[in-house]
Every structure is written in C-alpha cells, then in structure tokens.
C-alpha cells in the first residue's frame, strides 16, 4: 500500500525509503566522525586554560548554537510535510531533510575543535555529539509527516485514538 499524502501528490514507497536511507547514511557518517574524534581526543591531554582557550570555547559553542538553529530552521522551512502538498516538491522535501542532517553533522568538527583546543573530555564534547545525532534523527522522515501532510494527523493529536 502506497503512503498517501494528498490527492495531487502520492509518494512511492521506494522514494520514501530512498529519502529515509539517505538521511540514515548521513547519520552513519556523523557517527563515524564522532568515533574518530573520540579516538583522537582520548589521547589528548587537557590544555591549561588561557584567554585563547576561553575564546575558542565561546566560538565553538556559538557555532553549535548556529548549527542547531540553522538545521532546525532549514528542516522546518523546506522539509516540512506541508511542502509535499505542492506538486513537484518531493525532491525539495528530500533535499531539505538530507541537508538538515548534513548541517547537524557540522557539530562534530566543532566538537572536535572544542575538544582539541579546550577540553578533550566526554563532558566537553558531548553537547556537540548529542546535538549532531539528535538533529540528524529529527531529519529522518517519519510516518507522522505523511499524516500531517495528508491532514489526517488528528489520530496523533487525540493520543492515538481513532475517534
């Protein structure tokens, strides 16, 4: 059975799987980046705090906030299910979901820089890694996106009951 979005647009299951698969591939790439940076940072001594390390910390956390906002806004503006209701928007929806996951993955090199120059401990880089993974997971299209686009999301608003 094909997931139905609206009378004008139907998404073939293979197209939906292709989008989901592409975003999951980005998540795998993000996870590999986290693992590699963890291996490198595990051997790094903690640098002495200086004004330069404080400035790098401010810049990396500012960059993290920018990555989080950009990924979220990009996904909401261009990758929302309502975009599917417009004819010919499936490819834009797909690209927006993938781009949102890629933008989220930019938190990994920021975390590496933060860990390398400021604090190479788990608590130092965890906010960057968690943000990259969480935003990547949010970019994965879900069945609820289809229901929202179809206008049948009352099932989800009513706590799952069909009445």
Read off the pLDDT of residues 11-20 as tens digits, 9 standing for 90 and up: 566 777 888 9
Q: What is the pLDDT of residue 163?
A: 41
Between residues 54 and 87, which one has the greater pLDDT? 54
Rounded Cα gap, residues 163 and 161, in angstroms: 6
pLDDT tens sequence across 19-39: 899 999 999 999 999 999 999
Rounded Cα gap, residues 64 and 128, in angstroms: 7
Burial 121-133 (b: 16+ CB within 10 A, else e): eeebbebbbebbb
pTM for this one? 0.78
Number of neighbouring beta carbons within 10 Å of residue 21: 12
Mean pLDDT rounded to a whole number for the chain: 82
The confidence band for 127, taking pLDDT boundaries of 50, 70 and 90, is: very high
The confidence band for 153, taking pLDDT boundaries of 50, 70 and 90, is: very low
Number of neighbouring beta carbons within 10 Å of residue 55: 12
The confidence band for 156, taking pLDDT boundaries of 50, 70 and 90, is: very low
In what helix (H) or strand (E) does residue 43 lie, and over which residues does it extend?
none
Q: What is the pLDDT of residue 133?
A: 97
The 3-class secondary structure across 74-132, one letter per residue, is HHHHHCCHHHHHCCCCHHHHHHHHHHHHHHHHCHHHHHHHHHHHCCCCHHHHHHHHHHH
Rounded Cα gap, residues 143 and 84, in angstroms: 13
pLDDT tens sequence across 60-84: 999 999 999 999 999 888 877 665 6
């Amino acid at each position: 059975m094909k997931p139905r979005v609206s009378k004008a647009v139907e998404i073939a299951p293979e197209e939906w799987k292709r989008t989901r698969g592409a975003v999951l591939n980005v998540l795998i790439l993000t996870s590999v980046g986290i693992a590699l940076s963890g291996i490198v940072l595990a051997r790094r001594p903690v640098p002495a705090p200086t004004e330069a390390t404080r400035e790098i910390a401010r810049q990396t956390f500012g960059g993290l906030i920018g990555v989080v906002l950009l990924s979220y806004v990009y996904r909401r503006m261009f990758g929302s299910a309502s975009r599917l209701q417009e004819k010919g928007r499936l490819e834009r929806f797909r690209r927006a979901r993938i781009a949102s996951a890629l933008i989220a993955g930019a938190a990994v090199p920021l975390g590496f820089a933060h860990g390398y120059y400021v604090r190479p401990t788990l608590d130092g880089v965890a906010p960057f890694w968690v943000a990259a993974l969480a935003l990547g997971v949010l970019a994965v299209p879900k069945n609820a996106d289809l229901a929202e686009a179809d206008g049948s999301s009352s099932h989800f608003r009513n706590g799952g009951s069909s009445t």
